[in-house]
Structure 1
Amino acid sequence: MSRPDDLAALRSWAAEARPVFICGHERSGTSALQLALARHPALAPVPDVYETFIFSRTREWLADPPHAMQQAYVGGREALARLREWAARLAGGAAHTLEEDDLLRAFLAFAAHETYAGRRLLEKTPTHVLSLPRLFRLFPRAQVLACVRDPVAIADSYRLRLSRERALGKPREAWSWLELGIDELIVRLRRVDRALRDSVAFAPGRVFLVPYDWLTAVPADALAAICTFIGEPYDEAMLAPRALRRSRVDERLSQPISAAPAAPSLLAEAERTTLRRETHGLAARWRVPGCLPVGSSSAVLPERP
């Protein structure tokens, strides 16, 4: 199938496309899930963990230098140059004159038709959970896998990753996003929870919660249920990814999905208590895999019990 040759065709493509987006809260298994699904023969074989941020940083693939992961997602520097040339043709001269929605459609259409041709589009960026209204407006047939996790475990995961990044001697700009206070984390957790519950109103049955503990405890069962949700046959290849070509802070991403070994908590008891108290309601909701039930919008459910 060739790429759309004008804006009308591009918009029609997006309206009928069936991409699979992985989002949710950071440190909740989004990377592991993306790497597993990329092994499915029907889905885009994204070779690494590329977070495009395309819904929030839509124009950055036109910048110089471009957004590094957006460039990597479409196949590298030469592929990005072809994408820019095609977008310019769609715009009748200059790609930057396209509206942001069309730039976003063009970015993903190029990936679908050229980078991952013949496969169903797969994209992963945790913060896209905050862009669900736009996502479903542009891609009404999309399906979203929202990874969630116990709030205390998320906080511990931030601390552990921060410790590892520092131990590797990386510059602060590489790990500053991990320096998250408990109060700020609670705000973020509530924003994600609200975004997920609100999605029931405009995308009923199209957002599937993937609790981390479920995914890692029974990965075969979880992946089978996820495949049923996205309408693809289960394939055991998802459970046996090849070793990745570059070393990682978390070597578990080079291995099949499994539960993490027990590790001492890096949180103070007061922090754990605060998290439990302030996120009790959402923590209970995030234990249950599957589509959110109708009637679970944030206008109905309170933030706290």
Structure 2
Amino acid sequence: MTSQSHRPVFVLGCPRSGTTLLQQMLHSHRRLAVPSETRFVHVAYARRLGFGDLREKPNRRALAEWITAGEGTKFDVLGLDPGAVAGDIVHGPPTLGSALAAVFRRYAREHGKARWGDKRPSYFRKVPMLLRMFPDAQFVHLVRDGRDAVSSLARMPWYDGDVYSAALTWREAVDTGSRLARRLGPGRYFEMRYEDLVAEPERSLVALCGFLGEEYDEAMAEPHHHARRTVPAERRWHLRTHEAVNDRNVGAWAVRMRPWEADLVEHVLADRLRRHGYALAGRDRPEAAHVARFRRTAAHRWRAQRARAIRDRAARLREPNPVGSLLTGPATRSEILPISPDQ
């Protein structure tokens, strides 16, 4: 089977579910280029009104300059020439999705790959945004035992939440995954378990490649070779990617979590853990005060998400341009050509 697909691939999941490992596996495929988190896709979408009418070349140039040199975009992890990327954007179609696709297309070409993707755990909250910009995208959701994911996330130095918010994040991720599976169908959405991936990498990756319409590449099962070149040592929480794939961290929650945390997390996630094939440990019922705090955290987050959704709907009414990419699909096989904004 020789793949002709050029559909973008987005990796998502609750943070600390193994998405970096999966990103390294995908990038090890001879046709797929999936960089580390770039952090400019969702921010560019949030700021899209500020860039103005992209049919105007100066506005496309301003967008290009922000992507390539803006604070916090992490464009530098791509290792691309900013001037060349800016030229692709300025001379490309006048939509936000096209500008972003131009960046990833050049990244793929620099790596000799035909297809690109992106990874960010929190993309599980951003699928409607991604579909607006990349309607032909495919989504890969990696699910890990919620107790392991929560116990790891709550202890990350960059995480500003607590065990309550971490448990809620995992619950949101798997609930969103269930909705996406129904809405998008098996051709656009694929779910896999971290535990299966590390226990039998080849079997899981063959299934994933089948979903993507790609031939399996044996290099995918040895992502540590690529990770050692691309994952810096200062990112201590990702150093496990430097090792050969293993399952040593499966079930680590049992020694990482304090008893009250384990009681709470298993209680509030019980139904969803069983639904995804995770056996319960029979923890004690948590204290009522801990359950009440979890529920308050959930209510507060729900209100915040509703407010963001309302703001986004209002922003859509003021968009000066369509946001959908005109550079995805079969056109990605060719070099980016100058296109008049009138076309």
- CA shift, 1:102, in A, is 4.2
| Residue 67 of structure 1: aligned partner | 72
- Correspondence for 2:268 among 278, 295, 301: 278
CA distance in 2, matches of 1:236, 1:182: 38
The alignment's TM-score, normalised by the length of structure 2, stands at 0.63
2:148 is aligned with 1:124: no
Cα RMSD, aligned residues only? 2.8
CA distance in 1, matches of 2:243, 2:141: 21
CA distance in 2, matches of 1:137, 1:116: 27
| Residue 293 of structure 1: aligned partner | none
Give the secondary-structure state (helix, strand or coil) at the position aligned to 1:121: strand
| Contact 1:17-1:139 at 8 Å conserved across structures | no
**Aligned amino acid, residue 149 of structure 1:** R
- Higher mean alpha-carbon deviation, 268-277 vs 253-262, is at 253-262
Give the secondary-structure state (helix, strand or coil) at the position aligned to 1:260: coil
| Contact 1:20-1:122 at 8 Å conserved across structures | yes
| Residue 200 of structure 1: aligned partner | 181
Name which one, 1 or 2, has greater alpha-carbon Rg: 2
| Contact 1:146-1:208 at 8 Å conserved across structures | yes
| Contact 2:34-2:118 at 8 Å conserved across structures | no
Provide Cα deviations, 1:7-54, integer angstroms capped at 9, x if missing partner. xxxxxxxxx8411211111100101111112111121264xxx11234
Q: Which runs of 5+ in 1 are unaligned?
A: 1-15, 92-97, 163-174, 289-302
**Comparing both chains, which one has the higher relative contact order based on Cα–Cα distances under 8 Å and sequence gaps of 6 or more?**
2
Give the % identical residues.
25
Provide Cα deviations, 1:189-233, integer angstroms capped at 9, x if missing partner. 232223222223542112111211111111111111111111111
Give the secondary-structure state (helix, strand or coil) at the position aligned to 1:279: helix
The alignment's TM-score, normalised by the length of structure 1, stands at 0.71
- Correspondence for 1:56 among 42, 56, 62: 42
CA distance in 1, matches of 2:152, 2:263: 17
Shift of the 240–201 alpha-carbon distance from structure 1 to 2, 3 Å rule, reads closer
Provide Cα deviations, 1:149-173, integer angstroms capped at 9, x if missing partner. 111101222356x3xxxxxxxxxxx
CA distance in 2, matches of 1:61, 1:31: 27
2:103 is aligned with 1:107: yes
Give the secondary-structure state (helix, strand or coil) at the position aligned to 1:244: helix
- CA shift, 1:260, in A, is 2.0
| Residue 143 of structure 1: aligned partner | 138
- Correspondence for 1:184 among 143, 165, 170: 165
- CA shift, 1:61, in A, is 6.6
CA distance in 2, matches of 1:121, 1:66: 24
| Residue 324 of structure 2: aligned partner | none
| Contact 1:53-1:127 at 8 Å conserved across structures | no
Q: Which runs of 5+ in 2 are unaligned?
A: 48-62, 279-297, 299-343
| Contact 2:17-2:194 at 8 Å conserved across structures | yes
| Contact 2:149-2:170 at 8 Å conserved across structures | no
| Residue 198 of structure 2: aligned partner | 216
